[in-house]
Amino acid sequence: MTYGLISDIHGNLEAFDAVLEALDSVDAFLCLGDIIGYGADPALCLEKLRSLPGLLCVAGNHDLAAVGRYDISWFNPFARAAVEWTAEQLSDEQTSYLRNLPLTAHVEGAILVHGSLPDEMGYVTSPQEARACFDAMPGDTAFIGHTHVAEYYQIPRGTMPPTQVSLWSGGAVDLRDDLRYIINPGAVGQPRDGNPAASFGIWDVEARTVEIKRVPYDVEKAQAKIGSAGLPDYLSERLTVGR
């Protein structure tokens, strides 16, 4: 069984299409949230996602913000503008789909969550933050998104601190029996680890590997659409540098 791992699509159809082409042979898909927000094609990305085989998807903060399930007073002005514009693009049926997304999901012994545990919308950006998530995890593996940074953390059983490993240029994780893992496949639609290529993963359950890959996409087309939609320039500019 193989799963495509996707997160933080953020309404970027060009990036999403490039990733789906690279994932055309997986058996099923796991989505770690933030389908929409920032990009110019929220409705199309959501429909495309929902058509994927065996999809299991958890809610991200932007998914919930667009349907009034998340307080946006802490969002920066760019994110807030995107939330308001995005909410207007969704049909009632899409709004209700997003409103009903779960905060966590379980598959093959792993847990899916957008941000962290026990706070589903918290961030894992350091070994200290990873430690809190490891302590709250029911099993040995968590797949997370939210930071838009492809990386993983591993920790031996016991009291050792976690190790943080970057996957900004891709790479494979061999899942060992004696370690626990928090794995972030990076962002499809708005990478922030300095690599502008769309990021995603492939989890091969039997082979016990997670491979993170990067695929280039038509950044200029996605940027032009963000401009035509009247969304803040910053949201388009950052796609060039992946920050």
The least CB distance from residue 242 to Zn ion, in Å, is 14
Element (H, E) at 185: strand 179-185
Q: Between residues 34 and 211, which has the closer beta carbon with respect to Zn ion? A: 34
Among residues 11 and 162, whose Cβ is nearest to Zn ion?
11
Cα dihedral 239, 27, 29, 41 in deg (nearest 10): 50
- Pick between residue 8 and residue 211 the one whose CB is nearest to Zn ion: 8
CB closer to Zn ion, 121 vs 224: 121
Q: Side by side, which strands form the sheet with 209-215? A: 56-57, 28-31, 2-6, 198-204, 209-215, 171-174
45: exposed, middle or buried (Cβ count in 10 Å: 0-12, 13-18, 19+) = buried
Query: Which residues form the interface with Zn ion (CB under 5 A)?
Result: 8, 34
CB closer to Zn ion, 8 vs 41: 8
Give me the least distance between CB of 51 and Zn ion, in Å please.
Answer: 21
Least distance (Å) between residue 146 CB and Zn ion: 6
Separation of alpha carbons 50 and 31, rounded Å: 10
Answer yes or no: are the C-beta atoms of 147 and 123 closer than 8 Å.
Answer: yes
Q: How far is the CB of 233 from Zn ion (least distance, A)?
A: 19
CB of 41 to Zn ion, least distance (A): 15
Q: Is 171 exposed, middle or buried (0-12, 13-18, 19+ CB in 10 A)?
A: middle
